[in-house]
Amino acid sequence: MIRRLLAVARMTLLEAVRSRLLLAIGLVHGAGTAYAVLIGALSLGHESRVIADVSLASFSLVSLTLVVVHAATSVELDVSRKAVLTILTRALHRSEWICGKYLGIIAALLLFAGSGTALSLAIASGVEGTSSRPLLALAIALPMVLALAMSRIKLLASYTYIWPLVSLAAVLLINRDPSAIIFLRGATLALLEAALVAAVALFFATFAGPVPTALFTLGIVLVGRSADMLAKLPKRSFPESVVTAGRYLSHAVPNLHAYVPPHAVLTGLDPNVDPGWLILHGAAHAAAWSVLLLAGAALVTDRRELG
């Protein structure tokens, strides 16, 4: 079973690579990081914090875009090309196909996370001046050059995808910026949110086309980011029915507001919230919702005519 899941996951990951989706997403995040540097240069004495905050916002937005686009198109491509019929004739259950798709999307997300986090940390640390800029540039560039070189060598091509993670590890070893841990906390929460949203998008992709899937998922994200506000609508400003509906709606969708905490929480300055506990709670919340949504996606797929 594990081998079958990994085979589907690898195929899904290759789709993201061959369609240049990862490359496009990486370029967008690079542009967002460059914008963060520009905004930071206009601030007075707060360059490091501004760059970290804007880069983190770009990282979160791009991560969500990656999983929504990939989930919305991957299932539809397999169905439209009849590839799913070939896959399911190889003693592969439909639920295994869905779970393999999800693992492939998460693998693509982790590849982007490696390079995206490394780029953001390197630039923030370089601007702060706490680390050697030439070494940071080398830590970013060398693994990517090796990845391009190894992609041309057949025997080493399977190792191409580890280099973004190698780049991140190299930057973390060189980085001397004390605020790096703050960015890593925010990036971890952003990845957990993206993993949950990937399950949402995959659920909708099992019965809707790419555009409806993207719109439905966007709606869930917007409501989920507002879950805390919906649960606490003031009774003096809204009718009782609206307050009740908002409270029920806040429990009917994943609460994504917890994945975008204030800066004081990420820095550990809020005495009421422990960042480590927040990450553990976010991981458990994302895992529970993902299992529920994947089970729903598998159930829908079992009842859907794929031919």
pLDDT greater at residue 287 or residue 302? 287
CA-CA distances (angstroms) from residue 43 to 57, 117, 127, 165? 17, 23, 13, 32
Report d(CA 11, CA 5) in Å as an integer. Answer: 10
Instruction: Determine the structural domain holding residue 228 and report its residue range.
Output: 2-302
Specify the pLDDT at position 15: 81
Determine, yes or no, domain membership for 307: no
Report d(CA 49, CA 124) in Å as an integer. Answer: 9
Determine, yes or no, domain membership for 268: yes
116-170: pLDDT as tens digits: 888 888 887 777 766 677 787 887 777 777 776 766 665 455 566 777 888 888 8
Which of 158, 130, 153 is closest to 10 using CA atoms? 158
- Give the pLDDT band of residue 291 (cuts 50, 70, 90): very high
Write the DSSP string, 55-118.
HHHHHHHHHHHHHHHHHHHHHHHHHHTTHHHHHHTSS--HHHHHHHHHHHHHHHHHHHHHHHHH
CA-CA distances (angstroms) from residue 220 to 8, 98, 224, 257? 27, 20, 6, 12
CB 239 within 8 A of CB 150: no
Specify the pLDDT at position 105: 93
169-189: pLDDT as tens digits: 888 888 777 778 888 889 999
Determine, yes or no, domain membership for 226: yes
Determine, yes or no, domain membership for 70: yes
pLDDT beyond 70 at 26: yes
Average pLDDT, the chain: 81
- Give the pLDDT band of residue 82 (cuts 50, 70, 90): low
Determine, yes or no, domain membership for 93: yes
Q: Which of 2-16, 74-88, 214-228 has the least mean pLDDT? A: 74-88
- Give the pLDDT band of residue 283 (cuts 50, 70, 90): very high
CB 121 within 8 A of CB 181: no
57 CB-side CA count, 13 A: 11
Q: How many domains does the chain have?
A: 1
Specify the pLDDT at position 201: 93
Report d(CA 199, CA 173) in Å as an integer. Answer: 33
pLDDT greater at residue 115 or residue 125? 115
- Which amino acid does the sequence have at 292? L
User: CB pairs under 8 A, 24+ apart, for 225-229?
Assistant: 225/256, 225/257, 225/260, 226/257, 227/253, 227/254, 227/255, 227/256, 227/257, 228/255, 228/257, 229/257
pLDDT beyond 90 at 64: yes
CB 220 within 8 A of CB 253: yes
Report d(CA 261, CA 278) in Å as an integer. Answer: 9
CA-CA distances (angstroms) from residue 72 to 67, 80, 130, 194, 224? 8, 13, 41, 14, 19
CB 270 within 8 A of CB 264: yes
pLDDT beyond 70 at 190: yes
Specify the pLDDT at position 9: 83
235-261: pLDDT as tens digits: 777 788 877 887 888 778 888 888 988
Cβ neighbours around 60 below 10 Å, total = 19
